[in-house]
Structure 1
Amino acid sequence: MAGVELVPLVDEGLGNSAYLVDLGDGRALVVDVSRDLRAVHEAASKRGLTVAFAADTHLHADFLSGAHQLAATAGAKVLASAAGHREFEHAGLHDGEEVDLGGLRVRALLTPGHTHEHVAYLLLDGDREVGVFTGGSLIVGSAARTDLISVERTDELTRAQYASLRRLAGLPGDVQVWPTHGAGSFCSAPPGAERTSTIASELANNPLLQECDETAFVANLLGSLGNYPPYFRRLGEINRLGPPLLESEPGLAPLSVDEVRLSLTDGAVLIDGRPFDRFAVAHVSRAISIPLRPVFASWLGWLAPADRPLIIVRDPDQDPAEIAWQAAKIGYDNIIGELDGGMAAWTAAGRDTASIPLAGAGHIDGRRVLDIRQRSEYLDGHLPGAMHVELGDIAHREAEIPDEPLVVMCGHGERAMGAASLLAGAGHHDLVVLDGGPRDWAAATGRHLDTGG
């Protein structure tokens, strides 16, 4: 082929990239696609392509793979590591095995580390090594985390990651690097706009490739890792078994006010996807605030239970399909519907509401400050004396947080409202949320932020 047309399909919310490759004969290869296949179908349809191959670099922890669905609905051939022992029909590849795609080929390169069965796929056009789908091994400026399998295996897998990166670094410098995980991924990636690279660029700029001592590499990689959502611990096995097939597109069934009340009494949980300032004014008591935005899926998987029915509250202008798909791609098939008519219907029925006020950056009024950002954000600059508990830890550390006048803050307000809603649901009183972040406070008060722990 004269050239290879590759289309990155970026999921900004998960911080991941999937890829579609035009095979030049009306067929396509896709790599590391999620269960939300809308972007895949749109890209393939636009180019008049049929998806013939669906490759996964590893048993994903942050989303359900769409390969199983593509095999069932489009007849795609699934390519995956033989070491993954998937329990659905697929071509299980061993190290060095190649698959003829019809003019192009892929060669499986066993690259354990991110997971024990991880493979990279080297794309070949004749004898020319065009690029490599590196999944969660070599990523732009770093390598993906190695602590998802178990605590006991983390050191072993981190040392395997060291060897895998060096194997990939031995490819020619002009080989393109096409990772799955990028900035914004909880699978570990540094901030930055670039999601693809080259071997030469990574050799020149990736600190982990410049670390020649294995022990120092282990310390550097593990030292860079933050927390990750609890659903990461479940999805790998679901992907191994084969994610449940979707018979139709997910949606939100309408539930009346009385049906919602009865479901809540029976243990359902209400997820309020409206903007946080609207939640602040009025919401159903004990609802969890998770505003609909690109990162909705990650925070749903972090804050909402996977084993209880979920009910959605949204504004009329918010897309119900987007909510349903974001939930489906992380395996949250426990959404039983939405409050028909939203908060307007709830208040019209005379049902009680709760509120959590917003506080301006210069009007904290002596309240204790709870900063719920990630640790790296907190260390970068926080209000003096602020208590720090990450949002993902609020549910199981709630008892450590004093029930006293409290201002909850993050970088803008969305995550802080999520934390405040959890605290309110647990019985905390007199909560307000900072409308803004630490730098807004510094600008409003003329005071300096603290750094460090």
Structure 2
Amino acid sequence: MGFADDRLIPLVDEGLGNSAYLVDLGDGRALAVDAARDLRGLRAAADRRGLTVAYAADTHLHADFLSGAVQLAHDQDATVLASAAGHRAFPHRGLADGDEVDLGGLTLRALATPGHTDEHLSFLLLDNDRVLGVFTGGSLIVDSAARTDLLGAERTEELARAQYGSLRRLAALPDEVAVWPTHGAGSFCSAPSGSRRTSTIGAQKQSNPLLAADDEDTFVRRLMSQLGSYPDYFDRLAEVNRRGPRVLTGQPPLPALDPRQVKSLLAEGGCVVDARPAAVYAAGHIPGSVSIPLRGQFATWLGWLLPDTVPLVLVTDDDQDLAEIVWQAYKIGYEHLAGRLTGGLSAWLADGNQQAVTAFVTADRAEDRPYLDVRQEAEFTAGHVPGAVHIELGDLAVRAVDAPERPVVACGHGERAMTAASLLERAGHTDIAVLDGGPADYAAAHGRRLAEGGAG
């Protein structure tokens, strides 16, 4: 039908809540925008169309994932396009506001849109003088804007005011121009937004509450009021992306380890990450291991809860995708993967080692315990069990002392709660139960109504 249907391929990372884009330039070459280090999906899409990536554009120095641009430059001789103000320490074509790149029939024009970062660029995709769409990165996103606090609390308001100017500049584009953001629903780089990932300028002028702000001060208050917590690894990755991630020469390894090797690594300060489902972990696990079930959000919680400097040992089920685990770790810079316990927990037990168990209970079996809610602040405020103690999962490792004794730990379904229970067990808490379900299940089982607001 239109250009977006025929030649633009969105590549969505549901776990991080981000989108990369592959643009078919019509001559066997392609443009990649905001590609992540895990290039499996992009390469598959390019191969299906017989495309070679000739250009890799980054809208900004990403904080939530490692860029794949350097890898594309190495593998396919792609030209990296990025803001000159980012001072990247690897070969690239530095662009400033208004600079254009001839893509061979189409043109990419840089538009300075600071706010999410100082050096942020949006990219207009033009066919002659007609603007087809704009890659807005971490500036204008669907029904919101990207957060402005990643460079420190002391600069949050300054960058929010810059974001106001950037959104106004984008809103001046023709209504029919497509909006192709990087950040979206599920991204901790964005202020809260809906489930749609693309839009148009006209639609955003109608539905985006930030664009509806009467003035700059209202915009700033509205944006800053939506900023919740974000993973610790965000504070590291922008600089890694500025220097350029290490080029990989193939599938990163995940060596096989026997129980004795695992014990040796633990004695040297390593950590066991158990990627099995929450219920399987509850039934038996290596004492002191951290439960992070393999799902879309695996990378987020790995990066939020564990340092990137310690050797990590993986415990998995036989049917789990080991490549997925590895790439989720590598896309956020976690490369110290010591290996996987061969034979899993059965091998651990056969070697004469102990296991720990965690109660995984339904709502009707949890009423006599204090209720510990580990969801995000916005989730808790929207509806929680009256009297619940609230500690976000990301804060729990340093706030374990604030957790009640003998709690039932809960989130929305059980995965984050099992992670929280594993952290509490590491901190010395005992007799912990995890709720198999969420606050609505608990309230229904006990004839209660959920409370709203920040107080329990």
TM-score for both structures, normalised by structure 2: 0.98
User: Partners of 2:223 and 2:8 in 1: how far apart?
Assistant: 30
Aligned-partner residue type, residue 439 of structure 1: A
Q: What amino acid is aligned across from residue 437 of structure 1 in structure 2?
A: G
**Does the 8 A contact of 1:254 with 1:337 survive in 2?**
yes
Moved over 6 A (4+): none
Q: Which position in structure 2 is the counterpart of 1:274?
A: 276
- Give 1:143-292 correspondences, 5 Å limit: 143-292=145-294
1:414 correspondence with 2:415: yes
| 2:315/2:341 contact within 8 Å kept | yes
Structure 1 residue 359 displacement after superposition: 1.4
> 1:155 offset after TM fit, Å?
1.3
Deviates more, 1:393-402 or 1:373-382: 393-402
| Corresponding residue pairs, total | 452
1:29 aligned onto 2:31: yes
Amino acid at match of 1:207: P
Do residues 313 (structure 1) and 331 (structure 2) align? no
User: What CA deviation, in whole Å up to 9, does each residue of 1:109-137 have, x standing for no partner?
Assistant: 00000000000000001111100000000
**1:395 maps to what in 2?**
397
Question: 1:100–1:106: 8 Å Cα contact kept in structure 2?
Answer: yes
Which deviates more from structure 2 when the two are superposed, residues 163-172 or residues 187-196? 187-196
Flag structure 2 segments of 5+ consecutive residues without an equivalent.
none
Q: Which residue of 2 aligns with 1:428?
A: 429
Aligned residue number for residue 448 of structure 1: 449
Are 2:18 and 2:183, in contact at CA under 8 Å, matched by a contact in 1? yes
Could you tell me how far apart the structure 2 residues matched to 1:276 and 1:305 are?
A: 22
Cα distance, 1:450 vs. partner? 1.3
Q: Secondary structure at the match of 2:354?
A: coil
Distance 2:448 2:6 in 1: 54
Contact 2:367 2:446 (C-alpha < 8 Å) held by counterparts: no
Native 8 Å contact 2:191 2:223 kept in 1: no
Deviations 1:281-326 (A, max 9, x none): 1000000000000111101101122121111000000011000000
The change in CA–CA distance for 1:139 and 1:3 in structure 2 (over 3 A counts) is: closer
* Partner SS state of residue 11, structure 2: strand
Name stretches of at least 5 consecutive residues in structure 1 with no aligned partner: none
8 Å contact 1:368–1:405 — kept in the other structure?
yes
- Alpha-carbon distance in structure 2 between the residues aligned to 1:291 and 1:401: 22
| Partner of residue 52, structure 1 | 54
State the partner residue of 2:439. 438
Residues 289-368 of structure 1 correspond to what in structure 2 (within 5 A)? Answer: 289-368=291-370
Q: Deviations over 1:195-232 (max 9, x none)?
A: 00000000010000011311111111010011000000
CA distance in 2, matches of 1:114, 1:212: 21
Deviation at 1:428, TM superposition (A): 0.6
**1:140–1:189 Cα contact (<8 Å) kept:** no
Residue 107 of structure 1: how far off its partner (Å): 0.3
Q: Percent identity?
A: 61
The 8 Å contact of residues 191 and 227 in structure 2, kept in 1 or not, is answered as no
Q: Secondary structure at the match of 1:152?
A: helix
Scaled by the length of structure 1, the TM-score of the pair is: 0.98
Alpha carbons 1:55, 1:80 under 8 Å: kept: yes
Matched residue of 2:204: which SS? helix
Q: What SS is found at the alignment partner of 2:365?
A: coil
CA offsets 1:310-364 (integer angstroms, 9 cap, x no match): 1100000001100000000000001111111111111121210001111111111
* C-alpha displacement of 1:4: 5.7
Q: Is the 8 A contact 1:251 1:320 kept in 2?
A: no
- Give how far 1:2 is off: 12
State the Cα deviation string for residues 392-440 of structure 1 (Å, max 9, x = none): 00011112224x2111000000000000100000101110000100111
Q: Quick check: 2:191–2:226 contact (8 Å CA) kept in 1?
A: no
Matches of 2:278 and 2:228, distance apart in 1: 25
